[in-house]
Structure 1
């Protein structure tokens, strides 16, 4: 039987005043004439974000949720060129260690999904440099938490740049110049407009990188609807990972806005996927990408509990019979 664990993204709809993504724009930073005071303000915001993130992990533990995506905006302006030399990790050492210690004690899988502007296949050197800088920040945050960074950052392949085949080959070329520590952190996801399951699988198999299958994205962008034929190959990309297979689940907002995420997950659509992969691997961690965040997870579990083809393990975990 395959174990399915559900997780959610970055913030809670159930907890009030718990945003881990409070920010300060560079324009706001510039308005503060005292640079040292401005940096202290950034650090206070970052500490608040990390403390709220710890609240979210405690909320997850109380609700038996074992899988969570951190916000990539925990530390405002961490990668801004004007703050080059700012050692943001030092003043946040205690908060980061506490966050990582709690996640490890709770045996909670945590990861990141860096923003869309992180593009490893960009033809522009400046964008590639900024992308590797952003990924290096994610690695440093995980290391400061005491969490092994391996396979913790989900990326899309990147832009098509009007020539998808060339863009795929450019990813391979740029990968050779990407620091090994970053390579070990990256896992790749098929997207909803350009790079399909087969495109992403091509890269993952060449580079020995795990593939995060996004079922909703596949429905929106594919060469073939017969994704299940390739599922064994997807699972095999995880064979050397210390973590279970991961996938993303969401539902279309509407037929007209098919690529947009709905507030909740359509349980029938989810089980269309699950019924195809039953017994294919011991465990799959499913990240819910729905507007209602943990609210979508709770509603989905309530619907799953009514089914007779599952065995409920806890408030976010079940087995396929």
Structure 2
């Protein structure tokens, strides 16, 4: 098991400095390239170092069009950037950064359409190749969901199991499977792990949204953490549900005119920030279990930077697990204020 404090991370977009880009988002006619994205990532790594953030999810779009079937001119960009990827990986290791990808919802390994599965495997192979060229350890993973139900959940689950042995070795070595909030529960992914050995990601909010088997939180968490080899620290996903009233534009059926209506929140939606008391309760239930935490709050790095002084204020025992000390509190509060209330704002 990895030693040292637990890590907090966030995905992709940096809100504390909007000038930082996560990937080369230019259209194909402008010849975007992985090399440009790697330059952007190097700047993001500097930002992470300044704010003592040691875990980050890279954009799954850093190699634009690298697997687009109709654009072969982009297909070699990962191999062409081998030296740049090695340099960035060395920088990540020097900074103690834990990195990952979370490929898009279009990556589906249990589809009944073999062409979609083939394309999904191609995308995963490209992303695994980037992690390998960066020379990152087994903690650098590709996070996926099971996929669709396709009118038969058990058959869909079995198709994922059947696809597993067809995956290239670099993909199997990097792939991890997450429980979701609507279709496949912790029990489902634990079943798949038993058939394949794939490592599992416990998602806290998804657990509460979809747990038809009624598993206990600590039991489910412990079982999923145990899917990781002993020398690699597992990680989990944490987010708080959005509680605000939503306002939606709808057409009035009687008048035919557009109007704004108030709608209750959907509990699968993610809040901007992490509700600290919910996080503290989770970490106390999980005492004795080691894992890093990817925060999936909409406020990204700002949510992480706010959570740290909140933990010191309300739960020093939990803060200590992340290497946060009482002496850090004033500095972390100043950091939070500087990013949330930039100079010149009213």
Report the TM-score when normalising by structure 1. 0.87
**Whole-Å Cα distance in 1 between the matches of residues 196 and 177 of structure 2?**
11
**Whole-Å Cα distance in 1 between the matches of residues 153 and 309 of structure 2?**
42
Question: Structure 1 regions of 5+ residues with no counterpart?
Answer: 33-37
Question: Structure 2 regions of 5+ residues with no counterpart?
Answer: 244-263, 326-346
**Whole-Å Cα distance in 2 between the matches of residues 222 and 236 of structure 1?**
19
Aligned alpha-carbon RMSD (Å): 2.2
Superposition map of 1:207-226 within 5 A: 207-223=196-212, 224=214, 226=216
| Structure 1 residues 143 and 2, CA gap change in structure 2 (3 angstroms) | closer
- Any idea what the Cα deviations from partners look like across 1:169-208, whole Å, max 9, x if unmatched? 1111111222222111101100011000111111123211
Q: After TM superposition, give the deviation of residue 257 of structure 1 in Å.
A: 2.0
**Whole-Å Cα distance in 1 between the matches of residues 284 and 4 of structure 2?**
11
Q: After TM superposition, give the deviation of residue 91 of structure 1 in Å.
A: 4.2
**Whole-Å Cα distance in 2 between the matches of residues 151 and 50 of structure 1?**
17
Q: Is the 8 A contact 1:2 1:284 kept in 2?
A: no
Aligned equivalent of 1:97, options 86, 90, 94? 86
1:42 aligns with 2:19: no
Q: Which residue of 1 aligns with 2:57?
A: 69
Superposition map of 1:17-166 within 5 A: 17-25=19-27, 29=28, 32=29, 41-43=31-33, 46-84=34-72, 86-148=75-137, 152-166=141-155
Aligned equivalent of 1:237, options 227, 236, 261? 227
Q: After TM superposition, give the deviation of residue 226 of structure 1 in Å.
A: 2.1
Question: Mean Cα displacement is larger for which, 108-117 or 59-68?
Answer: 59-68
**Secondary structure, counterpart of 1:201 in structure 2:** helix
| Structure 1 residues 298 and 56, CA gap change in structure 2 (3 angstroms) | same
1:277 aligns with 2:267: no
| Structure 1 residues 64 and 261, CA gap change in structure 2 (3 angstroms) | same
**Secondary structure, counterpart of 2:291 in structure 1:** strand
Q: Is the 8 A contact 2:12 2:58 kept in 1?
A: yes
Q: After TM superposition, give the deviation of residue 89 of structure 1 in Å.
A: 2.4
Aligned positions, number: 301
1:297 aligns with 2:304: yes
Q: Is the 8 A contact 1:205 1:237 kept in 2?
A: no
Q: Which residue of 1 aligns with 2:7?
A: 5
Superposition map of 1:192-207 within 5 A: 192-207=181-196
1:306 aligns with 2:318: no
Q: Which residue of 1 aligns with 2:273?
A: 264
Report the TM-score when normalising by structure 2. 0.81
Q: Which residue of 2 aligns with 1:35?
A: none
Q: Is the 8 A contact 1:20 1:48 kept in 2?
A: no
- Any idea what the Cα deviations from partners look like across 1:282-314, whole Å, max 9, x if unmatched? x31000001111100001111101024426459
**Secondary structure, counterpart of 2:99 in structure 1:** strand
- Any idea what the Cα deviations from partners look like across 1:40-75, whole Å, max 9, x if unmatched? x222xx333211111111111222211111110112
**Secondary structure, counterpart of 2:7 in structure 1:** strand
Q: Is the 8 A contact 1:151 1:186 kept in 2?
A: no
**Whole-Å Cα distance in 2 between the matches of residues 304 and 170 of structure 1?**
42
Aligned equivalent of 1:287, options 294, 301, 310? 294
**Whole-Å Cα distance in 2 between the matches of residues 236 and 215 of structure 1?**
16
